[in-house]
Structure 1
Amino acid sequence: ADVMSSLLFRGKKMQGMLLLVFSKYFHLPFLRGIQTQSTRTGLGGIWGNKGGVSARMNVFGHSICFLNCHLPAHMENSDQRMEDFESILQQQQFEGQASMGVLDHDVVFWFGDLNFRIDDLDMQVVKAAIDSNKLSTLWEKDQLNMAKDSETVLEGFHEGPIKFPPTYKFDVGTDTYDTSGKKRKPAWTDRILWRLRPMAQVSNSMSRRSSLSCLTSGTCVSQHFYRSHMEYTVSDHKPVSSIFTLQFPYKVDMPLVTLFVEDEWREISDAVAKFKAAPNFPRSSWDWIGLYKVGFKHHKDYVSYVWAKQEESDFLRQEHQVRANHTFSCTKKTFTCVSKSHIEACEFY
């Protein structure tokens, strides 16, 4: 996505894990039910160096969840990684949504330092396979790849073809695999997977390794590329990235709140914002309308705001208006108005 023309509307951090979700401005009125969760698994759930952070939302009526995990390290802990993943899924429950758990969503993106390693093969064999670009030899022994055949919780998860060498472990500042005393065996620890709800998937549609997956509802996920970035040397990991396209029919095509603002404000009396709320919009005494500079990057970047208060006598009215204070006086060519529902539940208060 073009982050330069996008808004950061939700973020969640836990120790070294950070999940940021950006959106194009014109999608904002159709993002609803935004919530985040975090689960600590390090030191029995006390320490947050391991675990998962997630963000869920409804996008044009379709439920989507992003889950970023950091799972236990070391070769021998493959079973523990799966146990922690299942624990994260069990603990992360979202309130007041038709989609209560992570895997109840229409589309799930699961990614992060999952820490799975390459079994059986020794260091020399692994490095020789990398040098000769025989990555399929390593892929067959990848713990996560093998776990898909035996772990029920991984059913339905897809991962695009890995055509890049293992992303761990490197000497910091170089492209050289670990030469320290530990001599960690290279592995694909950093991964990006996706999943569609299994009961709704199109039968006989594709293999689990396909870069295209669809639902009977018409929802499709297409992966355009899956790559590592060798140019980054500040860590002993190489970052990975992927771009996806989601295609789905609109279940929601009307915003919860529609704003009507004069094209140009020449004096304070022009600073009036009229708004119309959808019948199913749960009004609150905390609702407000903010004034933002065009191109704002965060929901807290407002120049000013005014409470969208609703008097009891106006409860049945469909259209309302608020009058701004003097700091609202400006031209609409420079500023834009956004209602709370455009960036719903983003901790404005």
Structure 2
Amino acid sequence: MSRMQGLLLLVFAKYFHLPFLRGVQTETTRTGLGGYWGNKGGVSARMSVFGHTICFLNCHLPAHMENSDQRMEDFESILQQQQFEGQAATGVLDHDVVFWFGDLNFRIDDLEMQVVKSAIDNNKYSMLWEKDQLNMAKDSETVLEGFQEGPLKFSPTYKFDVGTNTYDTSGKKRKPAWTDRILWRLRATAPAGAALNAGKRGSISGLTSGTKVTQHCYRSHMEYIVSDHKPVSSIFTLQFPYKVDVPLVTLIVEDEWNSIADATAIFKVAPNYSRSSWDWIGLYKVGFKHHKDYVGYVWAKQEEADFQRQEHQVTFTEEELPKGSGDFILGYYSNNMSTIVGVTEPFQVIIPGQNLLLTSLFSLFLSLSVLPAPQQATLL
């Protein structure tokens, strides 16, 4: 997660991908009021995914029709300021794949209000694309080279009267525009960007190394009326050859824990993994959202005598187990890498003794609830 005033970026991943998401870093850049205010700017999250570098950049750029040049200047400033640690992909555009999105605030030039609304009413969006400031900037701004966007086949997403699907009827009467956008960029590896240019107008783009981005849909959501903007969404498939396909830590656990004695796990570490004495293994409910959402955890301690061992075992005590049954996952958290580097498949925890306490408390509650009113008052 990366957050700044007015900007929030959340990245979710399926649990079985977690061991292959490495080098996660975030950055924020304020551009409002000369860099002092966070209502405008950019937030980013970068990571290595199966050995390929990916960066997500969410921006809120300056508003108003006449500020197209200022939007480009702010975008370039964000790119220059956002630098990441490590030898690979130190800047946003150094990544193999970049997704750039947000309230970019680009407007439709030249055309009068009635012309724009008539084009919208008649679904003649193509005549508006030609006057869209972002589309025009792609032909002149070097920093936008390689950025692609799916066709804008939905109505402009700004500006609406709040609570309606009616374009601005206030005294300002803002001209409709596609302010909310989602673009992507693949780092060129072919000579002169040949692979990028070949698919520039399509919904599929790829690198000569085999990386491919496919956009399946790009749409707005008119049903949301709490803002003067309409949100946009897009679904992509990202395909690339594996560079990393073996987790740094392999966790082995039984399919079920039926007693406290079953609450053990075995883990194996890869030869190239550097352990820390602060590494731990967390027990997570299926559907967890953060590495700190564990039900319980145990330290993945390493004694001096363990250095030559291939397998290590940990045991969860009764206090570290859930108080009810359900489906759970074990995850190995690396302190050095600040991420989960190994997970199990989901398994069931069904420990009768743990459920007995809840059953007894529930029975007690039922017993108290049927007592006559005076006795209830006395008990309280």
TM-score, length of structure 2 as denominator length: 0.84
The Cα shift of 1:341 comes to 4.5
Stretch of structure 1 that moved more, 285-294 or 162-171: 285-294
Classify the secondary structure of the residue corresponding to 1:85.
Answer: helix
1:254 pairs with 2:261: no
Report if aligned partners of 1:287, 1:340 keep a CA contact under 8 Å in 2: yes
Alignment of 1:88-127 (within 5 A): 88-127=78-117
**Do the aligned partners of 1:205 and 1:213 also contact (CA within 8 Å) in 2?**
no
Match of 1:48, SS? Answer: strand
Q: How far is the alpha carbon of 1:67 from its aligned partner?
A: 0.5
Contact 1:168-1:187 within 8 A present in 2 as well:
yes
Name the aligned partner's letter for residue 97 of structure 2: V
Identity %: 78
The aligned residue for residue 65 of structure 1 is: 55
Superposed CA deviations along residues 136-182 of structure 1, whole A, max 9, x for unmatched, are: 11110100000001100000000011111110000001111101111
Residues 57 and 98 in structure 2, CA contact (< 8 A), matched pair in contact too = yes
Secondary structure, counterpart of 1:290 in structure 2: strand
Deviation per residue, 1:187-207 (Å, 9 max, x gap): 100000000002345537624
Contact 1:264–1:332, Cα closer than 8 Å, also in 2: no
CA RMSD of aligned residues (A): 2.1
Who is 2:316 aligned against?
A: 324
The Cα offsets for residues 86-125 of structure 1, whole Å up to 9 and x where unpaired, read as 1111111111241111111110000000000111112121
Partner of 1:178: 168
Q: Distance in 1 between matches of 2:293 and 2:76?
A: 38
Q: Give the 3 Å change call, closer, same or farther, for CA 236–152 of structure 1 in structure 2.
A: same
Gaps of 5+ in 2: 341-380
Shift of 1:267: 4.0
Larger relative helix fraction: 2
Query: 1:16 deviation in Å?
Result: 1.4
Residue pairs, 1:11-160, within 5 angstroms: 11-160=1-150
Structure of higher RCO (CA pairs closer than 8 Å, 6+ residues apart): 1
Between 1:247-256 and 1:303-312, the stretch displaced more is: 303-312
In 1, Cα distance between the equivalents of 2:199 and 2:245? 33
1:304 to 270, 275, 296: 296
- TM score, norm. by length of structure 1: 0.91
User: In 2, are the aligned partners of 1:224 and 1:243 still within 8 Å (CA)?
Assistant: yes
User: Given residue 102 of structure 2, which amino acid in structure 1 is its aligned partner?
Assistant: G
Q: Secondary structure at the match of 1:237?
A: coil
Q: How many correspondences in the alignment?
A: 337
Which protein shows a greater Rg? Answer: 2
What residue is the counterpart of 2:333 in the other structure? Answer: 340
User: 1 CA distance for matches of 2:87 and 2:45?
Assistant: 13
Is the CA contact (8 Å cut-off) linking 2:103 and 2:179 kept in structure 1? yes
Aligned to 1:287: 279
The AA in structure 1 aligned to 2:332 is: S
SS at match of 2:117: helix
Does 170-179 or 265-274 show the bigger shift? 265-274
Q: Equivalents in 2 of 1:245, 1:328: separation in Å?
A: 39
